[in-house]
Amino acid sequence: MQSTNSELNQREKIPTHIYESADEACQVVASAIAELIRDREAEGKPTVLGLATGSTPVRLYRELIRMHQEEALSFANVVTFNLDEYYGLDGDHPESYRRFMRDQLFDHVDLKPENTHVPDGRVEREAAYASCHAYEQAITDAGGIDIQILGIGRTGHIGFNEPGSGPETLTRLVTLDSLTRRDAARDFLGEANVPRHAITMGVGTILAARQVFLLAWGEGKASVIARTVEGAPTEAIPATFLQRHANCRFCIDRAAAGQLTRISCPWLVGPVDWTPEMTRKAVLWLAGKTGKSLLKLIDEDYTENGMADLLTERGRAYDVNIDLFNITQHTITGWPGGKPGADDSNRPERADPFPKRSLVLSPEPLDDVYSMGGTLNRLTTQGHLLTVAYQTTGNLAVPDEDVRGAIELMIELADGGQSGTDNSFARLVERQLEAKGSFGADTAEIRHLKGLIRRSEARASARTLGVSNDRLHFMDLPFYEKGRYRRFVAEDADVAAMRALLDSLKPHQIFATGYGHDPLSVPALCFDILCRALKECSHADWVQDCIIWLYRGPGQEWETHEIDMAVPLSPDEFENKIQGIYQHQSQRSQSAGTAEKKTHNTWDLAHQINQATAATYDALGLADYEAIECFKRWAPAH
Ligand code: GLP
């Protein structure tokens, strides 16, 4: 989808192409790179690429590697310059960008090592200026960058040019923003381990490239993309300076495009087809914009906000308002598994069959409770046959400190002669923890113990919500055990495990998450695995009869127009859910939430979750609830 009409061009100041998937976008960008490399090769000239790190370009690099292996694309004539490097890390550190590039690209193609450049993160502070200057000089000596690949940080940074970076800046030592450090916390197994400084090319260095492609995937990037593409150039969002570049293109997926005006409010940029979905989206937006409840919207509200043609089609505001009021009202139900024996013509879930086999998929322990703890409780107390399947162990998100606590307990029990075992496993893990230091990778034993910690938290949490432990299923999908955050690859074994679970349960309803996330995130991979498994069994009778409900994580709840089922919670139910969240002690300092909400960690968010949705329903003139858990109905494309 391309921006075409002039209204759009006025709003969108950078050519932005929206693709169905990250893979599709990466194929386009990889082809542009390959074409340039081949053209230059034919002219006997080298190609100079500016490269980025982070999860965003990983699929692009996988595509380039595929082209090298299958289409004889050679990198022998390519010179590369990376955008940035953490300060203080040497090139072998597992989180250094030099190491990242080796793992993700350099070691898999025929690039000459001497042609690859990554800023030196280990340079002495006094020598940093000279080193940065030399980096700029090396780019100039190579003839300048032909194609620069960029991701974007949620602060609006490109490279590590944090807010405050001007358009003339060059390669230099910078201090990282606290949000950037929080976003990197999982990679470094804790925010405290994330370096405070980095060396980065400047905005000016980036603007000097002859062509720029910025890539972005997932709803987490939607806000910063909209502000970068549609906002005024500002140092507060350094990526906005790309508006000044004559040959810059954004290649993004649908989720990352979600807040561009043409997607979020298309009626503001041109005529739209007033389908029921579009009408719902527009009228709920209008209520939010005017601060009115649905039944108080008047004709002028519609006509003054780009929706006059809706009234032409549908009559008076009064009729549209009532229609939308009823539609929204019908999303509310206290019976997420359907209400047995009731008329279900206006309810989100069917009354029959009862009881239902309900499957809740949680990418890591806690995702389930966070987004749908109240619903879990209701499904159980209303007599449905609930299974909660934890797709991964989530062991990478357990701080070492919690393992130390567990091994102290084991040693004390063993040494006191009470546990019936010796202390050798605990001592082994103790030695391994010592040996790995803060940055080393966890051994299999450490990961195992961390996984057990999360299991016991999941059980405690389920008990709080009235879900008995025999309803919990720990899948421990293999992809997670083999990888690190941002570097996972889902394989056939994962799909087979999911398929086996589905075949054995034959659920009537599935609650899942991960749709629209960054494609390399754990929830997105888990969702992809579910889709692949569902595709394999798409002809089974139970699949035809199964409803899939999507939930979303903290700070990213569904917008009102997307909600198909809203499950209200009373103050007591809400408090109970929070107690369920608190059982996940190892997650107390994990960061979560969106940039706008400025939430710091999982605990801070617990009291906010689901309340915004309740407040919105109240403001629309519907009932005033304490909290609402919300779901969107989804049909897989077969
Ligand atoms: C880091 C990198 C950026 C990258 C950003 C986004 O801060 N220095 O170059 O664009 O992260 O990361 P991700 O692609 O993982 O979302």
Cβ of 84 below 6 Å from ligand 1: yes
DSSP 542-594: HHHT-EEEE---TT-PPPGGG-SEEEEE-HHHHHHHHHHHHT-GGGTT---S-
Residue 352 lies in a domain: no
**Pairing status of strand 547-550 against strand 627-634:** antiparallel
User: Which ligand 1 atom is nearest residue 220's CA?
Assistant: 16
**Cα–Cα distance, 348 to 566 (Å, whole number):** 9
CA–CA gap between residue 291 and residue 285 (Å, rounded):
10
- Residue 24 is predicted with a pLDDT of 97
Between 129 and 413, residue with greater pLDDT: 129
pLDDT tens sequence across 353-385? 999 999 999 999 999 999 999 999 999 999 999
Judgement on whether residues 388 and 306 belong to the same structural domain of the protein:
no
Of 162, 219, 230, 349, the catalytic one is: 162
Q: Is 152 in the pocket of ligand 1 (CB under 6 A)?
A: yes
Residue 424 within a domain: no
- Residue 334 placed within a domain: no
Name residue, tokens 């923003």.
Answer: 177
- Final residue in a domain of this structure, among 211, 245, 262: 262
Q: Is 40 strand, coil or helix?
A: helix
Same domain, 129 and 11: yes
Q: Identify whether residues 555 and 578 lie together within a single domain.
A: yes
Query: Which tokens belong to 499?
Result: 């398929």
CA 240, CA 229: separation in Å to the nearest integer?
7
Distance 84 CA to ligand 1 centre (A): 10
Of 65-79, 403-417, 522-536, 573-587, the least confident: 403-417
| 175 Cα–ligand 1 center, Å | 15
3-state secondary structure of 368: helix
User: CB–CB of 399/592 below 8 Å?
Assistant: no
> 11 lies in a domain?
yes
Q: Are residues 152 and 245 in the same domain?
A: yes
Percent of residues, the chain, with pLDDT higher than 90: 82
pLDDT exceeds 50 at position 11 = yes
Q: What is the span of the domain harbouring residue 323?
A: 268-329
Shared domain for 248 and 279, answered yes or no, is: no
The domain boundary, picked from 221, 246, 262, lies at 262
Residue nearest to atom 6 of ligand 1 (CA): 153
Region 542-549: what's the mean pLDDT?
Answer: 95
- pLDDT band at 8; cut points 50, 70, 90: low
Task: Give yes or no: residues 272 and 224 share one domain.
Answer: no
- Cβ(50) to ligand 1 under 6 A? no
Q: Is 116 in the pocket of ligand 1 (CB under 6 A)?
A: no
Q: Which of 74-88, 157-171, 411-425, 518-532 bottoms out in mean pLDDT, i.e. has the lowest?
A: 411-425
Residues 524, 548 share a domain: yes
Burial 514-534 (b: 16+ CB within 10 A, else e): bbbbbbbbbbbbbbbbbbbbb
Overall number of domains in the chain: 3
Are 310 and 457 within one domain? no
Give the Cβ contact number of residue 431 at 10 Å: 12
Residue 616: C-alpha distances to residues 154, 334, 579 (Å): 25, 18, 24
Is 601:590 a contact under the CB 8 Å cutoff? yes
How far apart are the C-alpha atoms of 151 and 53, rounded to whole Å? Answer: 8
Retrieve residue 141's tokens: 């000596």
Mutating to test ligand 1, I would choose from 84, 148, 152, 520 the residue with most ligand atoms within 8 A of its C-beta, which is: 152
Of all protein residues, whose CA lies closest to atom 9 belonging to ligand 1?
159
Buried b / exposed e across 332-355, counting CB within 10 Å, b at 16+? bbebbbbbbeeebeebbbbbeeee
Q: Name the β-bridge partners of 251.
A: 17, 215
Q: Do 254 and 379 reside in the same domain of the chain?
A: no
Domain boundary among 279, 314, 329: 329
**What is the CATH number for 515?**
3.40.50.10320
Q: How far is CA 403 from CA 94, 114, 185, 455, in A?
A: 21, 42, 18, 13
Please tell me whether residues 277 and 373 are part of one structural domain. Answer: no
Task: Using the mean position of ligand 1's atoms as its centre, give its distance from the Cα of residue 522 in Å.
Answer: 17
Specify if 380 maps to a domain.
yes
* Pocket lining: 160 vs ligand 1, CB cutoff 6 Å: yes
Co-location of 188 and 252 in the same domain: yes
Radius of gyration of the chain (CA): 26
Same domain for 185 and 106? yes
Residue 423 counted as domain residue = no
Q: Confirm if 115 and 96 have CB atoms less than 8 A apart.
A: no
Of 163, 141, 161, the C-alpha closest to 207 is 161
Which of ligand 1's atoms lies nearest the C-alpha of 150?
Answer: 10
State whether the beta carbon of 55 lies less than 6 angstroms from ligand 1: yes
What integer is the mean pLDDT of 224-250? 97
pLDDT higher than 60, residue 597: no
pLDDT value at residue 599: 46
pLDDT in tens, 487-522: 888 999 999 999 999 999 999 999 999 998 888 899
Residue 162: active-site member: yes
> Is there an atom of ligand 1 within 6 Å of 159 CB?
yes
Atom of ligand 1 nearest to the CA of 221: 16
Q: Quick one: which atom of ligand 1 is closest to the CA of 160?
A: 8
Pocket flag, ligand 1, residue 153 (CB < 6 Å): yes
Please classify residue 563 by burial: count the beta carbons closer than 10 Å to its beta carbon, then call 0-12 exposed, 13-18 middle and 19+ buried: buried
Residue 96 has pLDDT above 90, yes or no: yes
Mean pLDDT is lowest, of 157-161, 534-538, 554-558, for 554-558
Q: How confident is the model at residue 588 (pLDDT cuts 50, 70, 90)?
A: confident
pLDDT at position 6, please?
Answer: 59
Residue 605 or 176, more confident: 176
* CATH number of the domain encompassing residue 97: 3.40.50.1360
Residue 160, amino acid: F
Q: Is 52 in the pocket of ligand 1 (CB under 6 A)?
A: yes
pLDDT at residue 428 is higher than 80: yes
Residue 162 covered by a domain: yes
Please indicate, yes or no, if residue 444 is contained in any of the structural domains. no
